[in-house]
């Protein structure tokens, strides 16, 4: 099968489209014929091996998982032993390493029926980003009706879902993005939009019950200034395009741990993990029209290196998708 393979850490030039053996599903896995995949900051971190400390897990000299890509939508080809509720031919979407390929093996719990009203391209844009936004707002922050929520990075892959989800939960939403994305974020339902090139929300004097950070571009103290005295700050580990870092978001996470026991604000981290239950929730939200993926550009599989360059250099808007 054709796949996008990475043999060393580096720029998008290290990605190669070549023929490799298709994966074989183990017990508890499904083999999916990929129709579309999507890019995420996750792929950027693996491409660069950034932050360097994460190489202890990703692979010291080169990534252990050689085929890039995480989000996919496609059709089930084979179902491994012990996987319930999926059959060959089912249209599915989900998360697994190695999605920039004609076939991918995914854990049964990280795959679910795709939203009926979406094309494969649109469906591939949903899993990782929307699941992160869902876990951050619903599970970590406990956002409900009437809460004031600020999303820092509202025009990105996670942020575009976060704005829509927070509105669906009944919150009053403020989105932070650059000038060219103000109209997009407003169109997603944000009640207020702050253009970060004109105003620094951490110095604007307004406080929010929940701040969801997807950028990591302020100090912990600055973020806390924008949170009410008993409000919640959720740190995702942002800082996508500042390559070459040793510890990346770990510095902010460490400060959070040190400060947390002494303050009334809830300072929390966002650990997003895929689950079939969340994929089902997201499917319902999509099919009922409450959330819609925003696709910026679509590239064919052999142009994934070009797609990565676009994501990296030009600040892609929301999602970049790959057709396979």
Ligand X SMILES: NC(=O)c1ccc[n+]([C@@H]2O[C@H](COP(=O)([O-])OP(=O)(O)OC[C@H]3O[C@@H](n4cnc5c(N)ncnc54)[C@H](OP(=O)(O)O)[C@@H]3O)[C@@H](O)[C@H]2O)c1
- The residue among 34, 37, 38, 12 whose CA lies nearest residue 22 is 34
The minimum distance between CB 180 and ligand X, in angstroms, equals 7
- Per CB under 6 A, the segment of 6-14, 55-63, 127-135, 293-301 that binds ligand X is 127-135
Spatial separation of the C-alpha atoms in residues 137 and 142, rounded to whole Å? 6
Q: What Å distances lie between residue 138 and 3, 143, 210, 277, CA to CA?
A: 35, 5, 11, 14
User: How many residues touch ligand X (CB under 6 A)?
Assistant: 27
Among 66, 192, 207, 315, binds ligand X (CB under 6 A): 315
| Closest distance of CB 70 from ligand X, Å | 10
The footprint of ligand X on residues 47-76 (CB under 6 A) is none
Could you give the CA distance from residue 24 to residue 141 in angstroms, rounded to a whole number? 39
User: Rounded to the nearest whole angstrom, what is the least distance from the CB of residue 284 to ligand X in the complex?
Assistant: 21
Q: Is 236 in the site for ligand X (CB under 6 A)?
A: yes
**CA angle in degrees (0–180, nearest 5) for 248-315-70:** 65
Q: Which long-range contacts (CB under 8 A, 24 or more apart) does 174-178 make?
A: 174/148, 174/149, 174/150, 174/201, 174/208, 175/150, 175/151, 176/150, 176/151, 176/152, 176/201, 176/215, 177/153, 178/315
Helices (H) and strands (E) in the chain, counts: 10, 15
Contacts of 92 (CB under 8 A, 6+ apart): 30, 32, 73, 74, 75, 76, 86, 111, 112, 113, 114
Q: In angstroms, what is the minimal distance from the CB of 193 to ligand X?
A: 10
> 26 or 222, CB closer to ligand X?
222
What is the token pair recorded at 3? 């796949």
Q: How near is the Cβ of 159 to ligand X at its closest, in Å?
A: 5
| Torsion 228-210-260-206 (CA) sign | negative
Beta bridge partners of 95: 71
- Answer for which of 74, 108, 159, 231 binds ligand X (CB under 6 A) is 159
Q: Which is nearer to ligand X, 33 or 225 (CB)?
A: 225
Site residues (CB under 6 A) for ligand X, limited to 256-275: 270-272
Q: Kindly tell me which of 48 and 224 has the beta carbon lying closer to ligand X.
A: 48
Regarding 177 and contact with ligand X (CB under 6 A), the answer is: yes
Q: Between 309 and 315, whose beta carbon lies closer to ligand X?
A: 315
CB 41 within 8 A of CB 137: no
Residue 158 lies near ligand X (rule: CB under 6 A): yes
Is residue 173 a contact residue for ligand X (CB under 6 A)? Answer: no
Check if the beta carbon of residue 161 is closer than 8 Å to that of residue 133. yes
Q: What is the DSSP code string of 108-119? A: GGGEEEPPTTS-
- Name the residue whose CB lies closest to ligand X: 156
Binding of ligand X by 108 (CB under 6 A): no
**Of the candidates 23, 108, 153, 231, which one interacts with ligand X according to CB under 6 A?**
153
Stretch that binds ligand X, among 11-19, 79-87, 219-227, 235-243 (CB under 6 A): 235-243
Structure tokens at 296: 């910026």
- Is 148 a binding residue for ligand X by CB under 6 A? The answer is no
Give CA–CA dist 134/168, Å, rounded. 11
Residue 234 vs 285, nearer CB to ligand X: 234
Of 143 and 215, nearer to ligand X (C-beta) is 215
The residue (of 76 and 321) whose beta carbon lies closer to ligand X is: 321
286 three-class SS? helix
Out of 115, 156, 293, 305, name the contact with ligand X by CB under 6 A: 156
Binding region for ligand X (CB under 6 A): 40-41, 128-129, 132, 153, 155-159, 177-178, 181, 196, 214-215, 217, 236-240, 270-272, 315
């Amino acid at each position: 099968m054709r796949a996008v393979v990475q043999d060393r850490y580096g720029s998008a030039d290290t990605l190669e489209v070549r023929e490799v053996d298709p994966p074989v599903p183990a017990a508890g896995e499904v083999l999916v014929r990929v129709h579309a995949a999507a890019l995420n900051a996750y792929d950027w971190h693996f491409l660069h091996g950034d932050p360097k400390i994460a190489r202890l897990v990703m692979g010291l000299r080169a990534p252990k998982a050689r085929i890039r890509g995480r989000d996919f939508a496609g059709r089930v080809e084979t179902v491994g032993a012990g996987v319930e509720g999926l059959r060959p031919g089912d249209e599915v979407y989900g998360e697994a390493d190695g999605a920039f390929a004609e076939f991918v093996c995914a854990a049964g719990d990280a795959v679910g029926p795709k939203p009926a009203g979406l094309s494969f391209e649109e469906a591939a844009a949903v899993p990782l980003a929307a699941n992160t936004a869902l876990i951050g707002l619903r599970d970590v922050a406990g956002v409900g009706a009437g809460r004031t929520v600020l999303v820092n990075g509202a025009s990105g892959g996670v942020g575009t879902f976060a704005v829509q989800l927070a509105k669906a939960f009944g919150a009053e939403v403020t989105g932070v993005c650059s000038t060219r994305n103000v109209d997009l974020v407003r169109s997603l339902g944000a009640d207020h939009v702050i253009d970060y090139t004109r105003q620094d929300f951490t110095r604007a004097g307004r406080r929010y019950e929940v701040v969801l950070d997807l950028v990591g571009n302020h100090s912990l103290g600055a973020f806390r200034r924008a949170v009410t005295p008993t409000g919640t700050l959720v740190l995702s580990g942002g800082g996508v395009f500042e390559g070459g870092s040793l510890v990346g978001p770990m510095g902010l996470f460490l400060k959070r741990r040190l400060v947390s026991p002494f303050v009334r604000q809830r300072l929390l981290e966002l650990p997003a993990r895929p689950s079939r239950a969340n994929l089902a929730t997201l499917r319902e939200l999509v099919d009922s029209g409450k959330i819609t993926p925003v696709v910026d550009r679509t590239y064919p599989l052999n142009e994934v290196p070009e797609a990565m360059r676009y994501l990296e250099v030009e600040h892609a808007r929301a999602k970049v998708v790959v057709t396979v």
